């Protein structure tokens, strides 16, 4: 990573940290106190030896042990204060970031959202932020305390005997090299281990999302092998990691013993020949020994800024997603007309829609038919503002949709999606989906969508439908989706294969409601069944992203393209 980026993570966090001025001050003060009390602890050796053991001062004999206790208690209290407050800040900041991440992700442009997998978004919102919390709450405070302690202890030894200090510092600085060397090795393996962990979690996700496929294809063994493969790699990286981590200690100890031996030699010489007091000497040695731990922490974590930065960058990929604009002109009133003028849609290099032209007026019905992959759902994506035309214009009430506040358009749309999606909530919550509850409207929605099955569910409309509605049948889910659309009562109804999972009987019953909707609302239907489209004012036959036939049902149903699409031979009755 280049130098100028080194503080990127800190700069990013700064606006969040700034809010914690008071707590930050207490943390900084506590940290300074921890460092100072460590140095004082070492310094205590001087009066203890000189006054109690050499001068045999009885007053000091009662005073000094008390002072030692006091120092340790104080250090404990300040350590607790700083780490508790730092953890609190870490937790609060990362949860705020989580909430922002969710908000940015949900309000991002559709194409941005599609560029990542759900797993990616999930991993950033949960795991990356968990790691970030540990860095803010643990690693950085520990780093700062260690740094402050090093300064305090070095200050102490310089104060006690600067000549001896220079000798010790010379040895200590040599120490840095092995730590750096092992640190680099460790970092590489940490990264590898992390990557394997995310593969492991992908593997679990995928296997259990498609558990029905795994089982019917009898691939439990196969999936287990794939999982174990990642696991083997993970084991390998973890072992290497631990090897380098553990090898650091013996090497360090050798260097430390050299430093201490030299200080014993030169210090002893100074005590014998130059009149250094025994107390000074032992205080010096204590401080030196106490330096070992914080130096280890500081050098080991010398990459903490880089690691912080890499986590921040990961969450920034989502935080910087392009947001849907909310500032544009609002669409007032109902949706009256929808017009496509020479609309083309490209995704990447692929032409999905070519030169689409049509217009529907208020309360008219447009039916889109065509083989799978023809581009029917893509026409809807343009009306919902999920995608923008690569050329041409989509007009709502005569206004270019890209110039309209898209929320104000969506507010007026009732939509049954192709997958008949459901949320893991109660039937009732699924139907009113965020709107205020209105008894009459609610009962009407249930009646019109033939949702009588609700009466037979345990708990009726309090029944929780499971993840993606998996505790309902496909047809029940579709009726639930229709009930949601009817409850919303938009001025535009969009039904993408709304009845595909229903048996002929149920479909026929629902058909009445759909006919009602078509009469009173502007409607766009996509259907593979004739019954749904017979009442359409305009039928478009799509093939390969192009309109190949267009007109009233009467006209279009006579064309070869239409017949082929519906697998019909001969004439169709009107």
Q: Give the footprint of ligand ATP on this chain (CB under 6 A).
A: 114, 347, 350, 352, 370, 372-378, 418
**Smallest Cα–Cα separation from 284: which of 276, 272, 296?**
276
Residue 114 interaction partner, one of Mg ion, ligand ATP, none, beta carbon < 5-8 Å per kind:
ligand ATP
Nearer CB in complex with Mg ion: 52/524: 524
Residue 459 interaction partner, one of ligand ATP, Mg ion, none, beta carbon < 5-8 Å per kind:
none
Query: CA 238 to CA 307: how far, in whole Å?
Result: 18
Pair 100, 319: CB distance under 8 Å: yes
DSSP string for 341-400: EEEEEEETTEEEEEEEEEEE-TT-EEEEEESTTSSHHHHHHHHTTSS--SEEEEEETTEE
Q: Site size for Mg ion, by CB under 5 A?
A: 2
Nearer CB in complex with Mg ion: 256/495: 495
Among residue numbers 229 through 248, which ones bind Mg ion (CB under 5 A)? none
Pair 321, 124: CB distance under 8 Å: no
Residue facing Mg ion at closest CB distance: 377
Query: CA 500 to CA 220: how far, in whole Å?
Result: 32
Least distance (Å) between residue 348 CB and ligand ATP: 6
Least distance (Å) between residue 474 CB and Mg ion: 16
**Smallest Cα–Cα separation from 256: which of 283, 200, 296?**
296
Least distance (Å) between residue 498 CB and ligand ATP: 12
Nearer CB in complex with Mg ion: 48/353: 353
Nearer CB in complex with Mg ion: 305/527: 527
Residue 372 interaction partner, one of ligand ATP, Mg ion, none, beta carbon < 5-8 Å per kind:
ligand ATP
Query: CA 432 to CA 545: how far, in whole Å?
Result: 35
Judged by CB under 5 A, does residue 377 bind Mg ion? yes
Residue 481 interaction partner, one of Mg ion, ligand ATP, none, beta carbon < 5-8 Å per kind:
none
Nearer CB in complex with ligand ATP: 118/242: 118
Nearer CB in complex with Mg ion: 497/549: 497
Least distance (Å) between residue 406 CB and Mg ion: 21
Least distance (Å) between residue 347 CB and ligand ATP: 4
Least distance (Å) between residue 490 CB and ligand ATP: 21
Least distance (Å) between residue 495 CB and ligand ATP: 13
**Smallest Cα–Cα separation from 530: which of 492, 506, 499?**
499
Stretch that binds Mg ion, among 70-78, 166-174, 393-401, 411-419 (CB under 5 A): 411-419
Residue 424 interaction partner, one of Mg ion, ligand ATP, none, beta carbon < 5-8 Å per kind:
none
What are the phi and psi torsion angles at 275 (to 5°)?
A: 75, 25
Least distance (Å) between residue 117 CB and ligand ATP: 13
Nearer CB in complex with Mg ion: 65/373: 373
Nearer CB in complex with ligand ATP: 139/418: 418
Judged by CB under 5 A, does residue 417 bind Mg ion? no
Nearer CB in complex with Mg ion: 198/418: 418
Residue 375 interaction partner, one of ligand ATP, Mg ion, none, beta carbon < 5-8 Å per kind:
ligand ATP
Pair 516, 547: CB distance under 8 Å: no
Tokens of 201: 């979690």
Residue 443: is it exposed, middle or buried by C-beta count within 10 angstroms (0-12/13-18/19+)?
Answer: exposed
**Smallest Cα–Cα separation from 298: which of 145, 466, 178?**
145
Residue 511 interaction partner, one of Mg ion, ligand ATP, none, beta carbon < 5-8 Å per kind:
none
Query: Which element (helix H / strand E) includes 219?
Result: none
Pair 321, 115: CB distance under 8 Å: no
Tokens of 363: 């309360």
Between the CA of residue 40 and those of 33, 147, 152, 269, 385, what are the distances in Å?
Answer: 10, 16, 9, 25, 67
Cα diameter, the chain: 121
Nearer CB in complex with ligand ATP: 175/383: 383
Residue 352 interaction partner, one of Mg ion, ligand ATP, none, beta carbon < 5-8 Å per kind:
ligand ATP
Least distance (Å) between residue 461 CB and ligand ATP: 30
Residues in the chain: 574
Least distance (Å) between residue 377 CB and Mg ion: 3
Nearer CB in complex with ligand ATP: 62/372: 372
Stretch that binds Mg ion, among 322-330, 337-345, 373-381, 510-518 (CB under 5 A): 373-381
Residues with Cβ within 8 Å of 308's Cβ and at least 6 positions away in sequence, in order, are: 9, 10, 13, 132, 135, 140
What are the phi and psi torsion angles at 12 (to 5°)?
A: -60, -45
Strands 399-400 and 413-416 turn out to be unpaired
Pair 141, 27: CB distance under 8 Å: yes
The site for Mg ion (CB under 5 A) is made up of 377, 418
């Amino acid at each position: 990573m280049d130098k100028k980026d080194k503080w990127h993570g800190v700069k990013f966090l700064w606006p969040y940290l700034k809010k914690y001025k008071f707590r930050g001050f207490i943390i900084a003060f506590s940290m300074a106190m921890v460092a100072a009390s460590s140095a004082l602890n070492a310094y205590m050796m001087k009066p203890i030896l000189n006054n109690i053991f050499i001068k045999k001062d009885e007053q000091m004999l009662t005073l000094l042990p008390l002072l030692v206790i006091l120092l340790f208690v104080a250090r404990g209290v300040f350590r607790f204060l700083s780490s508790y407050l730092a953890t609190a800040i870490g937790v609060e900041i990362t949860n705020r970031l989580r909430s922002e991440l969710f908000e940015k992700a949900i309000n991002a442009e559709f194409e941005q959202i599609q560029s990542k997998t759900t797993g990616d978004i999930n991993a950033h919102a949960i795991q990356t932020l968990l790691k970030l919390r540990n860095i803010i709450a643990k690693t950085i405070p520990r780093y700062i305390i260690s740094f402050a302690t090093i300064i305090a202890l070095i200050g102490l030894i310089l104060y006690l005997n600067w000549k001896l200090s220079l000798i010790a510092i010379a040895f200590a600085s040599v120490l840095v090299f092995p730590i750096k060397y092992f640190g680099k090795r460790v970092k590489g393996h940490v990264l590898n281990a992390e990557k394997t962990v995310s593969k492991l979690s992908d593997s679990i996700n995928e296997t259990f999302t498609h558990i029905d496929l795994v089982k019917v294809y009898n691939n439990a063994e196969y999936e287990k092998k794939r999982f174990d493969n990642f696991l083997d790699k993970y084991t390998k990286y973890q072992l290497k990691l631990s090897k380098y981590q553990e090898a650091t200690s013996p090497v360090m100890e050798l260097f430390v013993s050299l430093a201490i031996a030299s200080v014993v030699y030169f210090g002893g010489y100074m005590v014998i020949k130059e009149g250094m007091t025994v107390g000074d000497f032992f205080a010096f040695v204590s401080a030196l020994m106490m330096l070992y731990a914080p130096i280890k922490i500081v050098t080991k974590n010398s990459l903490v800024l880089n690691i912080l930065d890499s986590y921040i960058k990961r969450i920034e990929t989502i935080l910087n997603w392009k947001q849907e604009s909310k500032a544009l002109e609002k669409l007032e009133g109902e949706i009256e007309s929808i017009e496509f003028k020479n609309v083309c849609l490209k995704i990447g290099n692929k032409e999905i829609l070519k030169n689409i032209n049509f217009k529907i007026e208020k309360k008219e019905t447009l039916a889109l038919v065509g083989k799978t992959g023809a581009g029917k759902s893509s026409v809807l994506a343009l009306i919902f503002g999920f995608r923008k035309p690569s050329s041409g214009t989509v007009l709502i009430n005569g206004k270019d949709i890209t110039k309209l506040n898209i929320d104000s358009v969506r507010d007026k749309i009732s939509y049954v999606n192709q997958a008949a999606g459901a949320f893991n909530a109660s039937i009732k919550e699924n139907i009113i989906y965020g709107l205020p509850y209105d008894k009459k409207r609610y009962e009407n929605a249930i009646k019109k969508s033939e949702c009588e099955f609700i009466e037979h569910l345990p708990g009726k409309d309090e029944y929780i439908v499971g993840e993606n509605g998996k505790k309902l049948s496909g047809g029940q889910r579709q009726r639930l989706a229709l009930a949601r659309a009817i409850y919303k009562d938009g001025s535009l109804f969009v039904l993408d294969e709304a009845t595909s999972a229903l048996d002929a009987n149920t479909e026929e019953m629902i058909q009445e409601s759909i006919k009602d909707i078509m009469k009173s609302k502007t409607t766009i239907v996509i259907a593979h069944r004739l019954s749904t489209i017979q009442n359409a004012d305009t039928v478009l036959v799509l093939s390969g992203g192009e309109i190949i036939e267009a007109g009233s049902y009467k006209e279009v149903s006579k064309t070869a393209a239409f017949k082929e699409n519906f697998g019909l031979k001969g004439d169709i009755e009107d």
